[in-house]
Amino acid sequence: MSEPSARAQLAFLEKIQRLFDEGEFSATYKFALMLTLTELAIERGTDDDAELVLPLDAVAERFALLYWRQASSFGPASENSENGVLLQNLGKQAAVINRIRNIYNEVEGNPARAPGHPQWKRTISDIRAVVHNMPLRHLQVIGGQTDRFMYDYPCTNKMLILKQGVSRNLRRFSPLIQQLAKAGWVQHIRSNRRNAPLLGKKDDLESFMFGTPRALLARISPILSQMQDRRCFYCQGKLHSQTEVDHFIPWSRYPRDTAHNFVVAHRGCNNDKRDMLAAKTHLERWLARNDQLGQELGGQMQEQGFVSNIGSTTEVAKWAYGEAYRMQGFAWIETRRQTEMVDREYVELFGTDRI
């Protein structure tokens, strides 16, 4: 597999940067679309120049999940928002929020229950039309000119086709693209003066929009603890009062909560690992746990409000370790910051039978 030239990669990044700097953003849809395409490229794409075909329904479903938490009230009702929901648009409220809000309330905010709602398929169909007619049409307009460097438009047969090399670039530069998209989204919400009464003096906007509620983590800690025989996932010592729920694939690398990515660990182990990938012995244990207990874990985590898709979670891990191997990165072994280089054996743990 040939590597793209540095010039080609730089040209792609420059276009992404211009997209954020020079694109028109009257709503937050373009930020959500960039996050959607990047996440789906990680979960479904490959590290080659192949095109990536994405069903528009899959794009719409991820779109809905990105807006899911923001369909809840951020603060008390105000003159501009009678239900306390942040406004995503300089005009009237974004159509996606209006589409999912009733379902959000009826499933009590649990996204894992949304697909079972009788109106979910109709809602996804509506969101698919919104995404196709608005952000997909306008995302690639840079400085007033259309540059279809990522995909052609309009889409046919309800499929979005990312052009050759686009999926690989989205996967490779995911942390940067995620950072740009989320920072732009947060700034758009802050700069909308009609949100000012809701925001007040609060400084937790980004956490509300993209983070995991502490109360939710507290609820899943006992589930994980029981499955781990009440031992720290990393050092295997007995758990005590100072324990924390950890994203096995760090949040900084893939900022999305999925049921099978969580483990519980001593606070000391978690703090020492921080944003590093875990070493081979931990990766083997994590894969084995998901093989053996994945169905049970997924079911219990869904009840607590987390989406469960073990295949997607494994693909994300495969991507993260593949990137670390390509860049000759290091993985965390144990406290005192002991590490080892990620080698090919890490990648080989993800046999095709796991995906």
How many angstroms separate the CA atoms of 152 and 162, rounded?
8
Please count the other Cβ atoms lying within 10 Å of the Cβ belonging to residue 155.
19
Q: What are the residue ranges spanned by the domains of the chain?
A: 6-210, 214-354
Q: How many CA within 13 A on the CB side of residue 14?
A: 6
Q: What global pTM score does this model have?
A: 0.93
Q: Residue 1 has what pLDDT? A: 57
**CA Rg, the chain, in Å?**
21
Predicted local confidence at residue 253, as pLDDT: 93
CB-CB contact of 232 with 266 (8 Å): yes
- Residue-wise pLDDT tens for the chain (355 aa)? 567 788 999 999 999 999 999 887 878 999 999 999 999 999 999 999 999 999 999 999 999 999 999 999 998 888 888 789 999 998 889 999 999 999 999 999 999 999 999 999 999 999 999 999 999 999 999 989 999 999 999 999 999 999 999 999 999 999 999 999 999 999 999 999 999 988 876 668 999 999 888 888 999 999 999 999 999 999 999 998 889 999 999 999 999 899 999 999 999 999 999 999 999 999 999 999 999 999 999 999 999 999 999 999 999 999 999 999 999 999 999 988 899 999 999 999 998 655 4
The structure tokens listed for 336 are: 């005192």
DSSP 201: T
How far apart, in whole angstroms, are the C-alpha atoms of residue 315 and residue 44? 8
- Residue-level pLDDT at 352: 64
- pLDDT, one tens digit per residue, over 190-216 is 999 999 988 876 668 999 999 888 888
Confidence at residue 355, expressed as pLDDT on a 0 to 100 scale: 47
Residue 45 to residue 66: CA distance in whole angstroms: 20
| CB atoms closer than 10 angstroms to residue 148 | 11
**42 with 316: CB under 8 angstroms?**
yes
Sign of the CA dihedral running 55, 58, 64, 66: negative
pLDDT in tens, 6-18: 899 999 999 999 9
Give me the sign of the Cα torsion angle 66, 72, 76, 78: positive
Can you give the pLDDT at residue 15?
95
| Cβ-proximal residues to 328 (8 Å cutoff; 6+ apart), any chain | 341, 342
**In this predicted structure, what is the pLDDT of residue 2?**
66
By the 8 A CB rule, do 321 and 253 touch? Answer: no
